[in-house]
Amino acid sequence: MKFRLALPAALALIALPLAAESRGIVANTASPHIKLKALDLDDVRFTAGFWADRFDVVRRNTLPTLWKAMDDPRNGAQYASFLKTTGRGGEHLNVGALNVWSDGDVYKAVETMALVYATTRDPAIDRRMDEIITVFAAAQEPDGYISTPMRLKGLARWTNLRNHELYNMGHLMTAACIHHRATGKRNFLDIAIKVADHLYVTFQPRPRALAHFGFNPSNIMGSIELYRTTGNSKYLELARIFTEMRGSAPGGSDLNQSRTSLVKETEAVGHAVTAMYLYAGATDVYGETGEQPLLAALNRIWDDVTGRKMYLTGAVGNLYNGVSRKNDEVHEAFGLDYELPNRFAYNETCANIANAMWNWRLLGLSGDARYGDTMETVLYNSLLSGMSIDGTSFYYANPLRRHGDELPRVVRRQDPALRSTVLPCYCCPTSIARTIAGLKGWAFAKSEGALWVNLYTTAQVDTALAGGRFALTAKTSYPWSGTIHFTVDKAPPAEAALMLRIPAWASGATASIGNEPPRKLQSGAYASLRRVWHTGDQVTLELPMQPRIVEANPYVESARNQVAVMRGPVVYAVESPDTPAGLRISEFALPTTARFEAKWEPSLLGGVIVLETSARVRPEMEWSGMLYRTLSPAATRIAPLRMVPYYAWANRGMSHMTVWIPRAD
Ligand code: FUB
Ligand code: ZN
């Protein structure tokens, strides 16, 4: 039976008010069920600090690296496929090595350029984007379909859901909307409209043969964004079709969440990027339609992910290969409840980022801080771990432990032991780049009479609010310091609220306004500072930054009797370059009473706070290939232990690393 969500039929036909003036990272100004609206891209500037530095790394190093990699025949994503398809070059292209999802990664690189351009207004980027877009236009087929790998490999359209046609075209739609907003031009947007019209013709009849189509369904987010950008309700209907068709006929698999209709699903299953793109896209659909069964399903799945299937780093998708509870073969996938191995944690960077994307969208619906916390956890940990400090090499998998090169962690071709500039599967580098380039669009938001601060970084904000402009300067060295100073640069005439996310870990947080005594703030919620503001008003937020020793639910066997260390949102790790000579990372055990000294190391790993303490060392004996033996007690001693942020691991050559450490008591 075809399952359809109960939506007033009329809704699909109505062109909802176009968010024409919206120039944010998403055009959600008119979205009826979204509480937190995007600020215009021009409204926010990261002027210094952690994320401004990463933006700069992406602008200076990552962007050129992406294009160089996409011109390297060893790389899975290739811009040359567009050149070859259009007869403009690409002679060196290795079609055999070309991923069918290569186009999507090229579009993500252009999206990154557009986001960088939105900040820098560098005319060279604008010109280069125009040149590339001309090639995209030439590669598009007259009916709107576009996939250069399909053309070059001679594959028939819509015959195999793993051919990633929807992934590619989905990323095209998103990138085109961002490009339109950043430049005001229509050249890319017009290509996207032709794509979407083609998809509408293909999918609107809900052909049974295509019921389960879509792998990594960026097409849902892309269609919604195109709907918001153009106001054409066809594209909203398209997004709903993509969301509803999956699981609507027999023959689906948990691999791409098509065994069960999303509205009936109770758990996160299958390929984690595919899952998270589906959940993020469905959240966008809810933002436009308000369909309660969809939200109820998303809530159930969120509880499952964050309550049973997510790593401390916010990473998801632990399984390399395996089977789902319903016995479907899956890969790069969610495993069973509490099954969170450390060394063989797959945790594809794209899956982690998609978890952040989904949580950012859920935050937008509700303003509930727990979604902001999860998003932030990913950003500081399992997103950044995917990229080297200099922004030029990348990990696809993000394990939480490595015992060293003697136990290879390389299982799939795309999992190099050290980060690499080229990868046989190149989806992650472009995902990292576009997310960092667009982060200013996530950091702040607004609702009726309120400015929301979702992420803390040094920034200037100037946006229309409460009948005027509300402009603020934020200054902080967060996440290294928990002090954030806000100065009001322009105050609107009416009362306005400054909404500050107080993370769940920040118990004891305070805020003071001017000379008023500090007020205690509830952690795990947004603090609302509401008043008529005046230019020059000052707010100081203090988030306690003492290191925390964390334990896992005892069902997580891979972390049982172990602890991890966090400071603010940053997860720490023990890495072999920091351990005293002759000691292995696995020999340390941490007393639960450990006290840490936090030291700023400006020239280490791009500038980090390291944590120093003393730990107990239990020497490991020689195992010589044995698997088990009778325990012989070993004398323990105390040794210094130094920890670095997890995200910065493997930047000093081949190393051993662990996030979870045995507890000493
Ligand atoms: O599906 C295409 C790419 O390969 C995805 O981005 C990864 O998750 C991997 O499946
Ligand atoms: Zn990826």
pLDDT tens track for 483-505: 999 999 999 999 999 999 999 99
pLDDT score of 405: 59
SS (H, E, C) 514-562: CCCCCEECCCCEEEEEEECCCCCCEEEEECCCCCEEECCCCCCHHHCCE
Nearest CA owner, ligand 1 atom 4:
425
Tell me if 427 CB under 6 Å of ligand 1: yes
- Among 124-128, 167-171, 415-419, 607-611, name the one with the lowest average pLDDT: 415-419
| CB atoms closer than 10 angstroms to residue 278 | 31
105 alpha carbon to ligand 2 midpoint, in Å? 9
The verdict on the CB of residue 273 being under 6 Å from ligand 1 is yes
Q: Tell me the CATH architecture of domain 448-542.
A: Sandwich (2.60)
Distance 317 CA to ligand 2 centre (A): 12
What is the average pLDDT across 613-634? 90
4/568 Cα distance (integer angstroms): 44
* Distance in Å, CA 394 to ligand 2 centroid: 10
Indicate whether 13 pLDDT > 50.
no
- Which of these, 380, 441, 394, lies nearest to 112 by C-alpha position? 441
**Rounded average pLDDT over 592-609:** 97
Q: Give the torsion sign (CA, 45, 105, 189, 34).
A: negative
CB of 348 sitting under 6 A from ligand 1: yes
pLDDT at 528 over 90: yes
Closest Cα to atom 6 of ligand 1: 427
Mean predicted lDDT score pLDDT of the chain: 94
The secondary structure of residue 590, as a DSSP letter, is B
Pick from 635, 544, 619: nearest CA to 586 = 619
Q: What is the mean pLDDT of residues 112-126?
A: 98
C-beta 101 within 6 A of ligand 1: yes
Nearest ligand (C-alpha, residue 165): 1
Q: Which atom of ligand 1 is nearest to the CA of 351?
A: 8
Ligand 1 within 6 A of CB of 425: yes
Going by CATH, does the domain composed of 9-443 fall within 1.10.390.10? no
pLDDT of residue 403: 84
* Banded pLDDT at 15 (limits 50, 70, 90): very low
Most informative mutation of 102, 147, 348, 431 for ligand 1 (most atoms within 8 A of CB): 348
Q: What is the per-residue pLDDT across 297-308, written as a single tens digit (0 to 9) for each? A: 999 999 999 999
Question: The sheet that has 37-38: what strands, in order across it?
Answer: 37-38, 444-447, 450-453, 496-502, 525-531
CA-CA distances (angstroms) from residue 605 to 234, 283, 388, 580, 650?
A: 48, 37, 9, 19, 10
Which of 147, 274, 425 to mutate for ligand 1's pocket (most ligand atoms within 8 Å of CB)?
Answer: 425
Residue 39 pLDDT: 97
* Predicted confidence (pLDDT) per residue in 389-431, tens digit: 999 999 999 999 998 655 445 566 677 888 999 999 999 999 9
pLDDT band at residue 22 under the 50/70/90 scheme:
confident
CA dihedral 87, 93, 97, 102 (to 10 degrees): -50
Distance 351 CA to ligand 2 centre (A): 7
Statement: residue 18 has pLDDT above 50: no
Report CA(162)–ligand 1 centroid distance (Å). 10
Ligand closest to CA 216 = 1
In the predicted structure, residue 53 carries a pLDDT above the cut 70: yes
Q: Say yes or no to pLDDT of 11 above 60.
A: no
Kindly provide the residue ranges of all beta strands, DSSP E only, lying in 386-467, ordered along the sequence: 401-402, 444-447, 450-453, 458-465
**If DSSP codes are grouped into helix, strand and coil, which group holds residue 566?**
strand
Looking at the chain, which residues constitute the CATH 1.50.10.10 domain(s)? 9-443
- The number of the ligand 1 atom at minimal distance from the alpha carbon of 428 is 6
Q: What gap in Å lies between CA 80 and CA 83, rounded to an integer?
A: 5
Residue 629 C-alpha to ligand 2 middle, in angstroms? 41
Give the global pTM.
0.96
Task: Provide the pLDDT confidence category of residue 632 given band limits of 50, 70 and 90.
Answer: confident
The per-residue pLDDT for 314 is 98
In the chain, ranges of CATH 2.60.420.10 domains: 448-542
| Model pLDDT, residue 491 | 97
Look at residue 417 in the predicted model and tell me its pLDDT: 83
Q: What's the pLDDT score for residue 14? A: 36
Could you tell me if residue 286 is left (phi over 0), alpha (psi between -120 and 50 degrees) or otherwise beta? alpha
Percent of the chain whose predicted confidence (pLDDT) is above 70: 95
Ligand 1 atom nearest 99 alpha carbon? 2
Considering only CA atoms, which residue is closest to atom 2 of ligand 1?
101
> Region 348-368: what's the mean pLDDT?
98
| Contact 215 CB / ligand 1 (< 6 Å) | yes
What is the 375 CA–ligand 1 centroid distance (Å)? 21
pLDDT tens digits, one per residue of 195-254: 999 999 999 999 999 999 989 999 999 999 999 999 999 999 999 999 999 989 999 999
Residue 616 pLDDT greater than 60, yes or no: yes
Token duo for residue 244? 């509803």
